[in-house]
């Protein structure tokens, strides 16, 4: 039987062995790792920007609630007198529909703000990397014009004379995922639970939810036909309520996935010692930045269109 005891193996690609063998090769590996890491950060950011464009996320619910509540508003304004036994339950139901409507609008506006905020973080970080690339190219141009002994001296003093270092400060890119995490944590801790409570609570009275208000209306509804309804017309509200609950569950699951991805990025950052980028990888990284920024620009256009729809 083969011996399965773990034994130390040589790792020709490890950072320590590469550094002793060839500092430049070590830096190439480090530069490639850095490229992969920050590309993953930007992948999370780009995916976050596109949550605004997902049709199942909050955009249709406010209008659906308004439409479902319209029959109640018309009925309340045209047919209910103050001394009707079900005047107060209907009034409370209308107030609850409007309160939920406002909550969904606030959730949507907060997400719009998040997209603009994270886009600014990405653009700011991209500028730092662009400045580093410009600096490296300036150093290269000066070295090409220098004497051979000066170039050799530069190589002896630095692992790689064309390596970028200064930008690898956490604040230059960590705020991207940090802000995403803060927004999502707030939504999952407040917005989504509050909306879920309003959509699921059967509690009666002012602190209850939509189901409780609908039950009160059903109980107070007279046995005879009222207006053109033989029973309380809550079916449309019930349909919107069920759809909204499913949307919140899906949103919560999706945002939870983003938090898991950010957690993995944080773990990766803790286990690596950062060096800089070589020029080739800086150029490639800036292309990733450009693609991510374009995704945010598309998301902002979607935001503007949705804002016009909300205000129309």
**Which pLDDT score, from 0 to 100, does residue 311 have?**
65
Total count of domains within the chain: 1
Residue 4 lies in a domain: no
DSSP, residue by residue, 194-236: HHHHHHH----STT--HHHHHHHHHHHS-SS-BTTBSS---HH
Residue 19 lies in a domain: no
Residue 259 lies in a domain: yes
Q: Which of 142-156, 220-234, 237-251, 265-279 has the highest mean pLDDT?
A: 237-251
Condensed to tens digits (0 to 9), the pLDDT of residues 121-179 reads 999 889 888 988 888 788 777 766 655 555 554 444 444 555 666 556 666 677 899 99
150 token code pair: 């000066």
Q: Is residue 3 pLDDT above 60, yes or no?
A: no
Residue 69 lies in a domain: yes
Distance separating alpha carbons of residues 183 and 268, to the nearest angstrom: 22
Full residue range of the structural domain in which residue 191 is found = 29-47+54-311
Distance separating alpha carbons of residues 90 and 146, to the nearest angstrom: 85
**Which pLDDT score, from 0 to 100, does residue 1 have?**
39
- Using CA atoms, how far residue 83 sits from 49, 80, 86, 87, in Å, is 52, 8, 8, 7
Instruction: Please compute the mean of the pLDDT values over residues 51-55 and round it to a whole number.
Output: 74
Residue 23 lies in a domain: no
Distance separating alpha carbons of residues 216 and 203, to the nearest angstrom: 10
124 token code pair: 């700011």
Distance separating alpha carbons of residues 262 and 181, to the nearest angstrom: 8
Distance separating alpha carbons of residues 261 and 267, to the nearest angstrom: 10
**Which pLDDT score, from 0 to 100, does residue 52 have?**
76
The residue ranking higher by pLDDT, 270 or 257, is: 257
Buried-exposed string 118-133: b where 16+ CB fall within 10 A, e elsewhere: bbebbeebbebbeebb
Residue 241 lies in a domain: yes
Give me the percent of the chain exceeding a pLDDT of 70. 75
**Which pLDDT score, from 0 to 100, does residue 191 have?**
94
| CATH code assigned at 247 | 1.20.1170
Condensed to tens digits (0 to 9), the pLDDT of residues 61-109 reads 988 998 988 888 888 887 777 777 778 888 899 999 999 999 998 998 8
6 pLDDT band, cuts 50/70/90, is very low
**Which pLDDT score, from 0 to 100, does residue 84 have?**
76
Residue 17 lies in a domain: no
- Average model confidence (pLDDT) for the chain? 79
Q: Taking the model in full, what pTM does it have?
A: 0.79
Instruction: Please compute the mean of the pLDDT values over residues 205-233 and round it to a whole number.
Output: 80
Tell which residue, 123, 124, 157, has the closest CA to residue 139: 157
Residue 158 lies in a domain: yes
Question: Coil, strand or helix: which one is 271?
Answer: coil
């Amino acid at each position: 039987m083969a011996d399965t005891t773990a034994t130390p193996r040589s790792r020709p690609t490890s950072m320590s062995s590469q550094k002793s063998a060839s500092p430049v090769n070590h830096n190439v590996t480090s530069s490639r790792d850095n490229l992969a890491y920050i590309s993953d950060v930007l992948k999370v950011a780009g995916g976050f920007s596109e949550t605004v464009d997902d049709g199942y996320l909050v955009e249709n619910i406010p209008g659906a609630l308004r439409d479902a509540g319209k029959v109640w508003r018309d009925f309340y304004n045209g047919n209910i007198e103050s001394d009707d036994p079900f005047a107060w339950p209907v009034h409370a139901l209308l107030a609850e529909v409007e309160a939920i409507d406002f909550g969904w609008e606030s959730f949507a506006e907060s997400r719009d703000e998040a997209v603009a905020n994270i886009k600014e973080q990405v653009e700011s970080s991209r500028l730092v990397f662009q400045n580093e690339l410009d600096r490296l190219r300036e150093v290269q141009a000066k070295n090409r014009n220098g004497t051979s002994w000066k170039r050799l001296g530069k190589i002896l003093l630095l692992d790689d004379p064309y390596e970028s270092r200064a930008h690898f400060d956490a604040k230059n890119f960590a705020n991207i995922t940090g802000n995403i995490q803060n927004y999502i944590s707030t939504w999952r801790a407040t917005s989504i639970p509050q909306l879920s409570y309003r959509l699921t609570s059967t509690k009666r009275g002012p602190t209850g939810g939509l189901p409780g208000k609908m039950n009160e209306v059903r109980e107070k509804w007279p046995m005879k036909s009222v207006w053109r309804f033989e029973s309380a017309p809550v079916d449309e509200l019930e349909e919107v309520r069920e759809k909204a609950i499913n949307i919140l569950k899906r949103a919560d699951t999706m945002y939870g996935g983003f938090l898991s991805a950010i957690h993995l990025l944080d773990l990766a950052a803790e286990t690596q010692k950062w060096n800089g980028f070589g020029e080739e990888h800086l150029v490639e990284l800036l292309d990733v930045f450009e693609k991510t920024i374009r995704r945010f620009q598309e998301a902002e256009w979607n935001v503007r269109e949705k804002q016009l729809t909300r205000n129309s």
